[in-house]
Structures are given as C-alpha cells and as structure tokens.
Amino acid sequence: MKQIVREKYSEIATQEKDANASSCCGATSSCGTYTIMSDSYADLEGYNPDADLGLGCGLPTQFAKIAPGDTVLDLGSGAGNDCFVARAETGETGKVIGVDFTPKMLELARQNAEKRGFNNVEFRQGDIEDLPVTADSVDVVVSNCVLNLVPDKAKVFSEIKRVLRPGGHFSISDVVLRGELPEKLESAAEMYAGCVAGAMQMDDYLALIEQAGFQGMNVQKQKPILIPDDILLDYLTPDELKAFSASKTGIFSITVYAEKPGEKRPNKMKLELATLTKANCCEPGSGCC
C-alpha cells in the first residue's frame, strides 16, 4: 500500500499544475478523490499557490497555535504548502521541517523553498512511522490528510509524541468514518491513495490519540465529505451505490488538537525579548525608560 501511495503522489507531483487543477483528482486516469476534500488557503498568510496541490482535507496550520520562534514539523509535507504557512507564523526566528517519503514531492518542495529564499524551512525524506527527527525537539506538529495513508497509525502517534517537546502539541486534519465502507471501496487502490479507504472509525482514531498518552484532546473542526456518485460508480454498481447511500455511512474531515504532557518550555522569542528589555531598561519610576 505504501508503494501505491508513493506512485500515485509521484504522478501528481510531476503533472503540470494546470492539468492537475483542471481535474477533480489530480493525476488519475479516472476521476478520483484527491482534491474534492480540500479547503481554501487563500486567506492565510504565507500561502503560496505554487505549493498547493489541493491534496488536503483541512487547514491544520490555521488551528495549530504556532507562535513566533517555534519549531514546527509537517508530516507528509508534499509540495510545501503547510510548511510555508507555518513559516509565516513562526517567523525568521523559528524553524519548519517537512517530512515526506515521495522523492518527487520533496524535489518540488525544495524548489519552492529555494525560489522564495526560505532558509529556515527544510525538507527531509522519511517515513512518518519512523521520523528522521530528534526526540523532544519540536514545538508543534501539523499534518493534512496524511495519517489515513499510513498502515500503522498508532506508531505515527507514538512518533509524534517522541519528537514533541514536553508541553508541545499537534493539530492534524484527517479523514475518518462513522459506519462501514463497502468492500469494493476499501480494496480500491485509488480510494486508498485518495484518503478514503484507509480512514478509521472516528471513535477508534480519537482513542489512538488517548492511548498514545496525549492530553487536552479536542476536535477543532469537523466537516462531512461528500463523494460524488459519478466517482463512486467507478467502483460500485448502481444497486451497491443505492445500498451505500441508504447505509448512512458518514465520511468526515476532522482537525484534532492534543498536547504532550509536561511543562511547556518558555518561548524562545519571548525569552529573547525579555532579556533585551531587561538589558536596555531601568527600574520603574527612575525616569530613564
């Protein structure tokens, strides 16, 4: 399944942007689900249209509470879209790391960063089940519609906890289910790469986060995902589609927040500002400030 995902997203990375935008699914021969879930980033500071392939299902960076000076990690960073939005939040004093296991996506992301002269954004090749990131080194983790592509989601949450500093947090957008998908959808490679077939039950997904030892979990946003009938008919017969519609199975995009236990470190930028203020100011009432 990982090889299927790598191949599909390599196709999307190498396809012309105009061609990708003109279809509803990116690089597929039949219309899939790749871009029908995406939200608009247009109003977010740091948004770079060239880095937006429309492959997400939410806006995790909008909810991620990123502060100036933070170190931010993006899981499944693609062409760099969320990394560049995170950079606008963390500023020149912060750092953004993107991890992806598709070489073509990494190449595209690095080109996008170089064109913009972003020296504090880097992209690393790796599997998010085994992150190439030092333990206790990240303040915020974000991810947009990626974890459902990974077979061992519990391992991913374990890795997120490992790399976060005590008191650090994540904001992750992902696709989850309420109810069961037809077997033909679950076994379809296109649906897996399109983030549907690999989706977990919502309650089980949230339970994984609690079992990993996170605290303060809350669902920041939830929206239904409606897959058009003409896409579903690529996989289901008309009778099967009718039965699926009657089953009331719900497909949702959720954005989830949770924190790693521990005392949060003082923000680096605030510490520097406090030191600067103390060094250049006098006691209150002295008249020199």
Identify the CATH number of the domain in which residue 85 sits.
3.40.50.150
Q: What pLDDT is attached to residue 227?
A: 79
- Give the side-chain half-sphere CA count within 13 A for 255: 22
What H or E segment, with its residue span, contains residue 71? strand 71-75
Residue 284 belongs to a domain: no
Determine contact, residues 3/25, Cβ cutoff 8 Å.
no
Q: pLDDT per residue over 207-243, tens digit each?
A: 999 999 999 999 999 998 887 788 788 888 889 888 8
Global pTM reads 0.80
Residue 287 lies in a domain: no
In a domain, residue 283? The reply is: no
Query: Does any domain span residue 285?
Result: no
| For the chain, counts of helices (H) and of strands (E) | 12, 8
Summarised one tens digit per residue, pLDDT across range 45-102 is: 887 777 777 777 889 999 999 999 999 999 999 889 999 999 999 999 999 999 998 8
Residue 269: domain span: 2-278
The answer to whether 3 and 10 are in contact (CB under 8 A) is no
DSSP β-bridge partners for residue 186: none
Copy the structure tokens of residue 149: 């592509």
Please report whether residue 289 resides in a domain: no
Total structural domains within the chain: 1
pLDDT value, residue 140: 98
Does any domain span residue 139? yes
CB 56 within 8 A of CB 142: no
Lowest mean pLDDT among 116-130, 183-197, 219-233: 183-197
